[in-house]
Amino acid sequence: MLKPICLLCTGLLAAGNLFAQTEPNKSPATQDAAKPPTVRDAAKPTTEQSPPPAVAQSPAAANTSADQAAKPQVDKNPPPLDPKNMDTSIKPADDFYLFANGGWVKRNPIPPEFSRWASFNELGEKNNDALHEIAEKAAAVAPKTAAKSKVEKAAAADLLKVGDFYASGMNEKEVDDARVKPLQDEVKRIDAMKDRKDVLKEIARLHSMGVTAFFGFTSGQDDKESTMVIAQAFQGGLGMPDRDYYTKEDEASKKLRDQYVEHVTKMLTLAGEPAAQAAENAKKVMALETALAKPARTRVELRDPQKNYNKMKQADLQALTPDWNWADYFKAINLATPGDINVGQPDFFKGANEVFKTVSVDDWKTYLRWHLLHDLAPSLSNDFVNENFRYFEGTLRGTKQIKPRWKRVVAKTDEELGESIGKLYVAEHFPPEAKARALEMVNNIKEALADRIKTLEWMDEATKQEALKKLAAFTVKIGYPDKWRDYSLLKIDRISYAQNVMRGDSFETDRQLKKIGKPVDRSEWGITPPTVNAYYNPNMNEIVFPAGIMQPPFFDPKADDAVNYGGMGAVIGHEMTHGFDDQGRQYDAVGNLRDWWSPESAKAYTDRSKAIVTQYSGYEPLAGLHINGELTQGENIADIGGVKIAYMAFQKAIAKKGPQPKIDGFTPEQRFFLGFAQIWRNNQREEDLKLRLNTDPHSPGRFRTIGPLSNLTEFQKAFDIPDGSPMVRPADQRVNVW
| Catalytic positions, written as ranges | 575, 639
Other Cβ atoms within 10 Å of 21 Cβ, number: 30
How far CA 334 is from CA of 217, 272, 314, 328, in Å, comes to 13, 32, 16, 10
Counting beta carbons within 10 angstroms of the beta carbon of residue 266, is it exposed (0 to 12), middle (13 to 18) or buried (19 or more)? buried
**C-beta of residue 324 within 8 angstroms of C-beta of residue 196:** yes
**C-beta of residue 700 within 8 angstroms of C-beta of residue 628:** no
Counting beta carbons within 10 angstroms of the beta carbon of residue 95, is it exposed (0 to 12), middle (13 to 18) or buried (19 or more)? buried
**C-beta of residue 230 within 8 angstroms of C-beta of residue 344:** no
**C-beta of residue 686 within 8 angstroms of C-beta of residue 64:** yes
The C-alpha atoms of residue 211 and residue 219 are separated, in whole angstroms, by 15
Return left, alpha or beta for 297; rule: phi > 0 is left, psi -120 to 50 is alpha, else beta. Answer: beta
SS3 labels along 129-161 = HHHHHHHHHHHHCCCCCCCCCHHHHHHHHHHHH
The C-alpha atoms of residue 527 and residue 242 are separated, in whole angstroms, by 23
**C-beta of residue 19 within 8 angstroms of C-beta of residue 37:** yes
The C-alpha atoms of residue 558 and residue 548 are separated, in whole angstroms, by 17
* DSSP conformation class of 510: H
Crossing angle for the helix pair 668-678 and 633-657, to the nearest 10 degrees: 150
Residue 209 CA neighbour count, 13 Å, CB half: 21
Counting beta carbons within 10 angstroms of the beta carbon of residue 136, is it exposed (0 to 12), middle (13 to 18) or buried (19 or more)? middle
How far CA 704 is from CA of 129, 307, 422, 574, in Å, comes to 28, 28, 30, 11
Return left, alpha or beta for 501; rule: phi > 0 is left, psi -120 to 50 is alpha, else beta. Answer: alpha
The C-alpha atoms of residue 203 and residue 336 are separated, in whole angstroms, by 17
**C-beta of residue 675 within 8 angstroms of C-beta of residue 85:** no
The C-alpha atoms of residue 684 and residue 64 are separated, in whole angstroms, by 5
- Helix, strand, coil shares, percent, the chain, to 5: 55, 10, 40
Pairing of strands 116-118, 542-546: unpaired
What is the edge-to-edge ordering of all strands in the sheet holding 225-235?
Answer: 215-222, 225-235, 341-343, 311-312
C-alpha triplet 74, 426, 116: angle, nearest 5°: 30
How far CA 199 is from CA of 191, 536, 657, in Å, comes to 10, 38, 68
DSSP code string of 234-254: EE---SSS-THHHH--SHHHH
* DSSP conformation class of 584: G
Q: What sign has the CA pseudo-torsion 195, 200, 206, 211?
A: positive
C-alpha triplet 561, 567, 569: angle, nearest 5°: 70
The C-alpha atoms of residue 371 and residue 237 are separated, in whole angstroms, by 8
Crossing angle for the helix pair 382-389 and 251-270, to the nearest 10 degrees: 180
